[in-house]
Amino acid sequence: MKEIELSKNVFVVKASVVNFPADAIVNAANKTLLGGGGVDGAIHQAAGPNLLEACKKLDGCDTGEAKITPSFDLKTCKYIIHTVGPVFKLSQNPQQQLQSCYKKSLDLALEYKCNSVAFSGISTGVYGYPVKQAASVASEAVAEWLKRHNFAIKVFLCCYKESEFEAYAQLVRTTK
């Protein structure tokens, strides 16, 4: 597995978030939380039907917010954090909403005492957020959150596609 250390305790990995070994994984969900395409559908399929039932009880999730469920049949993590990223072309403030996705997800990871959390690429699929911009927003949001919290948590930014991984690699090269 390819890996880049973005900063202390923050790693970019070329891997699927679905079976990534972490205390919590972060699902790029839609507002209903009832599953969909891409990583959302893959996580729902891997976690089994109990995830859908738990998500129904959460009554959806607004853009920039996050909610948490047990991982059910997904044995590589304890929790699934569901966050809804902005649809890039429709959002009034996509950067602020995307930052909020990362920060609210990390808030839940802290609340549930997770030592590690793995993010999928939020909003970079059908929601159309440009990958390079999303990588920059994600890394800044995580860095800001870690600065404000005295909590040693390992953060993994999982890149399913090579183009996502390369966007982070380029970011690392330009900031070092």
Q: Which pair of structure tokens corresponds to residue 148? A: 């404000």
User: Do 141 and 102 meet the contact criterion of CB atoms below 8 Å apart?
Assistant: yes
Q: Is the dihedral of CA 33, 35, 37, 41 positive or negative?
A: positive
Who wins on pLDDT, 7 or 96?
A: 96
Rounded average pLDDT over 99-121: 98
Edge-to-edge, what's the strand order for the sheet holding 24-29?
Answer: 3-7, 10-14, 154-159, 116-119, 24-29, 79-84, 66-70
The half-sphere exposure of 74 on its side-chain side, counting CA atoms within 13 A, is: 30
Q: Which pLDDT does position 81 carry in this prediction? A: 99
Range of the domain at 80: 3-175
The domain tally of the chain equals 1
CATH number, residue 160: 3.40.220.10
How far apart (Å, rounded) are the C-alpha atoms in residues 118 and 129? Answer: 19
DSSP 3-state of 58: helix
pLDDT surpassing 60 at residue 176: no
Distances 33 to 8, 26, 77 between C-alpha atoms, Å: 32, 12, 19
pLDDT surpassing 60 at residue 59: yes
CA-based angle 65:69:72, to the nearest 5?
Answer: 150
Distance, CA of 154 to chain centre: 13
pLDDT surpassing 70 at residue 175: no
Confidence of residue 102 (pLDDT cuts 50, 70, 90): very high
User: Do 85 and 129 meet the contact criterion of CB atoms below 8 Å apart?
Assistant: yes
Q: Which pLDDT does position 92 carry in this prediction? A: 96
